[in-house]
Amino acid sequence: MVRDRRPSGQTLSLLELLLGQPRAWRHGYDLSAELGLKSGTLYPILMRLSDRGLLESRWQPAKQEGRPPRHLYRLTGAGLAYASEQLAEAPEADVPPRRHRSPA
Is residue 17 one of the residues assigned to a domain? Answer: yes
Which residue from 85, 62, 59 is spatially nearest to 73, judged by alpha carbons?
59
Is residue 2 one of the residues assigned to a domain? Answer: no
> Half-sphere exposure of 24 toward its Cβ, with a 13 Å CA cutoff?
11
Share of the chain above pLDDT 70, in %: 84
CB atoms within 10 A of CB 58: 11
pLDDT in tens, 65-93: 888 888 899 999 999 999 999 998 887 65
Q: What pLDDT is attached to residue 60?
A: 85
Is residue 102 one of the residues assigned to a domain? Answer: no
Which residue from 16, 39, 34 is spatially nearest to 88, judged by alpha carbons?
16
Is residue 3 one of the residues assigned to a domain? Answer: no
**Which CATH number belongs to the domain containing residue 31 in this structure?**
1.10.10.10
Tell me which residue range forms the domain holding 55: 9-59+70-93
Total domains, the chain: 1
